Amino acid sequence: MPVKTIVWDADDVLNDLMHTWFTEWWLPDHFDCGVSYQDLVENPPHNILKVSLAEYLESLDAFRFSRLSSLKPVPEVREWFQLHGSQFRHIVLTAVPIHTAGLAAAWVFEHYGAWVRSFNLVPSRRIGENIPVYDQTKKDFLSWWKKADIIVDDSSVNIQSARELGLQTVLMPQPWNSSSLSLSAALSKLTLLTEEVAARSYKN
C-alpha cells in the first residue's frame, strides 16, 4: 500500500512564530499598542496594529533573521510526529520571503528532519524582488505537484483551496482563522484523518 503524504505549513503550525514575534519582539517596542495576541484576527495583522504592511513585514523579517534559529517547535506537534510521523511521508509547503527561505529550511530540518524530507515554498513577495514566479498560491503548487493527501495549515484560504482540490485538511487553530478546535483536538482530527485515508487506500 502506498505511503500517504501530509503537507505541512511551517510558521504557526510547526512553530509559534507569530506568537513569539508579537510577544517577544513587537510588544516590547510597542507596549502601548493596546492589542493582545488573541486580537490578531487578521493575517497579516498590520491594520490591527495600525502600521503599514511594509513596516509589519520589515519587523517580521528582522525577527526571522535574529530569532528564527532559536525558535522551538510546538511541543504537541513534535509529539505527534514522534508518535505517528513514521507512518507517512511529510513535506513542508510554506510562504516565506525568498531571502529567509534558507533559514526556514534549516529550522525545519533541524527540528523535523527525521520525518520531513522535502521543503517547498511559494515565496512571499517583497518590494524590489525580481525572481521567477512559478506559483502564485499554494493551490497552484499542489495542483502541479499532485502528490498530497492531507494538508495541515493555519490559513483558512489555503485550507479551502486544498478542499477544492479534493484533499483532506486540518485547520490549525489561530486567532486569524475560523477553527473552533483546540490544538489537541486539531491533532486528534489529523490522526483520525490519517486512519480514514489509509483505510480508503486499502479498500481501493
Q: What is the pLDDT of residues 111-164, one digit of tens each?
A: 999 999 999 999 999 988 899 999 999 999 999 999 999 999 999 999 999 999
pTM of the predicted model, to two decimals? 0.94
What is the DSSP track for 117-155? EEEEE-----TT-----S-SSHHHHHHHH---SEEEES-
pLDDT of residue 127: 87
pLDDT of residue 201: 60
Q: Is the torsion defined by CA of 7, 57, 17, 175 positive or negative?
A: negative
Q: What is the pLDDT of residues 35-77, one digit of tens each?
A: 999 999 999 999 999 999 999 999 999 999 999 999 999 999 9
Cell of 182: 483546540
pLDDT of residue 203: 58
Cell of 194: 490519517
Question: What are residue 45's phi and psi, to 5 degrees?
Answer: -100, 20
pLDDT of residue 80: 98
